[in-house]
Chain A
């Protein structure tokens, strides 16, 4: 009797569980049909863009001055000129060009016939207003315009910038300033916190539909070069995981992706391509205020001990090349290269030379260990941000190479915020960091070498983290500021490269890549190694170059 009822109870239990499971499965199936697939790019008119990642959803913020502005803002507003960070070339947008009267004064001719998306005309007054706005609110001056500008004047369609001193490279900075409409922004009370929900712009796109998981940008009918804009709609989803990028058929996405040939390209061999140009130099910063890092022979020893090709391969799966020691990004800045430096600045691994240099610095090999005069093994700590797995892989290769000649290497990996703090304050022995890639040779070298950034240890700086100090180099940088011709600039840049090559203020390891993924299914003429008219970056104004260059596929 007992067993019978037990069996019944059991049957009832099983029935309930099975029923519950069935309901779950069935309801999963039935509601599934309602799931939208709107982000699939079907028609050639719309361009699916993997550029803006929600956290995890989008907050509506199209204020171009805000640090958390939506990426799409950069496809709507325009600067005076767009500077291609690959080769530093400027393309006129809201200005038709710039000319230096003398190294202290530059004239910008403002484009006429441009209209804001609400139909009002764009005038030089908008340019003056924008520069005035960022002067009154320094927190909006994200490019640091007023570190260079003394005053601004205008007559008709010319705006003249009077600079604080001879400062030819300042033009690159002025070029990139986003211009906002005076008739809208003059009544904004707090321009920093205003979210600018419906932006009035001059650029190729205006805001289309905004939803927390996806927004669209529509082609601006008033756009002054509308004939160059091929994509009618840009679709930006909030979720762009690596699996999405492989499966969803993006036209343009920016993402580091493992085994790009086996994943993204394999998904559509006929159309999917990629271009990973260098975007910065990943380098080892020695703390030049400390021994033994202030010893040039010691730095030479380190430099010769490294097999940079192996480090580059390990770090970025062979996507990028080992860095040369000229301070330039190659092949981007090939035209600036100092031809008297051997091998384009590449330094090959040479254990003999490394040991000889270390010996000059006071370290000798004993029993497989590199020891100082007191017999203590040389032990180095390298600081690198936690979670940057590619950098870590490179460092692990470096660690093995240094261990092979008897140096003990410890990796210190604080959280990114703590890493930034340590780097800025100079609280490190050796740190991994990146420099260069702005497109302006002056800015690249100035940030790396200018002694005015070399604050004492404990005081935060924003460049020259290794704290390099050299009066001759400072003079060269000042000269470069007033050199107006390319030939004159080249002569100085040659000497700066020689300094970086000889003094090793930072030991270049490999180039950090820019990860551009493209599909030629609906649009062609994407930037590439053979046509590097813009970097593949999605979050800067250089995207305007791409959006006005691509053509609809026939």
Chain B
């Protein structure tokens, strides 16, 4: 119980720190939202003084002292009201976030779970058959695949499968003339559009799980209790799965918890390459356009979910490993 209370106190303090940094950081960046909007306009042509004045009048600058703004901000967080976006003016921040979140959760979430399951299974298999060609193939292959940067894999897939072979749609999350709904046709379209981004994330993230699982399991296989179980004539599959893999999976499970917490942040590079309307791309637009309200809402969402995931992993560890409880 004292362990749990300690963890809760730590959670609250970290949360407060995160919320405060989230408030301060965007305000320390040079340039105002109006400057960002004008910089964007000036790429199209000269911005006249009148256009500048109008943009400044429309977007305004944050009012009041820093402390007053901070109080206002805390109040908004409690009410989950993040105001109006600057760059998507006059859209509400909450509407933008709830529009992008489902796409990211389904795409990145599903692929992360698949990558974890397949990767861990392959890792266990590689460790069990260490030295065989399965091991070589899985280890070398995954190291090769995960050494590629996300965007490079994404661009290769986009070019060859999307443009050259024409197998997959090349951008967006659904067809050009569709509006999101729950019909079978639309879901089919959405799955087809998720193909390339999903494949990219799978290829680049699978390797980590394989290597992680294989290395821990190779260690576990050398433990006395595994030798003892084998000496006792237990079924090899029982030894592999219930003795070795079960113990080896703990570190992988921890990182899985953390990765799941980060899923809400989306996958910025993949979403950018495929123009996938998820949180990552939204965050990118928010940052490049100095969109404080949108940026704060997104950063807050990401930090809070990572913190919650951390908290759950901490608590779970207390349950799984009695030594951490003291």
Interface residues of A (CB under 8 A from B): 2, 5-6, 9-10, 13-14, 16-17, 20, 24, 27-29, 31-32, 34-36, 38-39, 54-57, 59, 61, 66-68, 85, 138-144, 147, 173, 192-195, 209, 211-214, 237-239, 241, 243-244, 247, 279-280, 385, 388, 414-422, 424, 434-438, 443, 447, 453, 462-463, 514, 537, 539-540
B240 at the interface (CB under 8 A from A): yes
Which residues on B sit within 8 Å (CB–CB) of A6? 128-129, 236
A438 touches B176 (CB 8 A): no
Q: Which of B50-58, B68-76, B249-257, B305-313 makes up part of the contact surface?
A: B50-58
B192 touches A443 (CB 8 A): no
Contact of A447 among B37, B46, B159 (CB under 8 A): B46
A89 CB to nearest B CB, Å: 17
Please, what's the 1-or-0 string for B38-60, where 1 marks a CB less than 8 Å from any CB in chain A?
11111111111111111101110
B171 touches A415 (CB 8 A): no
B2 at the interface (CB under 8 A from A): no
A35 touches B57 (CB 8 A): no
B118 at the interface (CB under 8 A from A): yes
Which residues on B sit within 8 Å (CB–CB) of A416? 31, 35-36, 39-40, 288
A28 touches B168 (CB 8 A): yes
B174 CB to nearest A CB, Å: 7
* Docked pose: A247 CA to B166 CA in angstroms: 11
A9 touches B236 (CB 8 A): yes
B246 CB to nearest A CB, Å: 16
Task: Write the chain B residue with the least CB distance to A209.
Answer: B177
B179 touches A212 (CB 8 A): yes
Contact of A195 among B84, B90, B171 (CB under 8 A): B90
Interface size on B, residues (CB 8 A): 79
B31 touches A421 (CB 8 A): yes
* Docked pose: A32 CA to B167 CA in angstroms: 6
Which residues on A sit within 8 Å (CB–CB) of B237? 5, 9
Please, what's the 1-or-0 string for B260-271, where 1 marks a CB less than 8 Å from any CB in chain A?
000000000001
Which residues on A sit within 8 Å (CB–CB) of B281? 55-56
| A6-B128, A212-B179, A447-B49 given; 16 more Cβ-contact pairs under 8 Å | A2-B236, A13-B134, A32-B192, A34-B192, A38-B176, A39-B176, A67-B89, A138-B53, A195-B90, A212-B180, A213-B176, A414-B30, A416-B36, A416-B288, A438-B46, A462-B53
Task: Write the chain A residue with the least CB distance to B180.
Answer: A212
B172 at the interface (CB under 8 A from A): yes
Question: Most chain-A CB neighbours within 10 Å: which of B35, B128, B168?
Answer: B35
B87 touches A213 (CB 8 A): no
Number of cross-chain contacts by CB at 8 Å: 227
B74 CB to nearest A CB, Å: 25
Q: Which of B5-13, B145-153, B183-191 makes up part of the contact surface?
A: B183-191
Interface residues of B (CB under 8 A from A): 29-33, 35-55, 57-59, 84, 87-91, 118, 121-122, 125, 128-129, 132, 134, 158-159, 163, 167-172, 174-180, 185, 188-189, 191-193, 195, 199, 235-237, 240, 271, 275-277, 281, 285, 288, 290
A198 CB to nearest B CB, Å: 16
A20 CB to nearest B CB, Å: 7
Contact of A56 among B191, B236, B277 (CB under 8 A): B277
Question: Most chain-A CB neighbours within 10 Å: which of B43, B45, B199, B288?
Answer: B45
B63 CB to nearest A CB, Å: 15
A204 CB to nearest B CB, Å: 22
B191 CB to nearest A CB, Å: 5
A466 CB to nearest B CB, Å: 15
B88 touches A55 (CB 8 A): yes
A143 touches B48 (CB 8 A): yes
Task: Write the chain B residue with the least CB distance to A241.
Answer: B171
* Docked pose: A416 CA to B285 CA in angstroms: 13
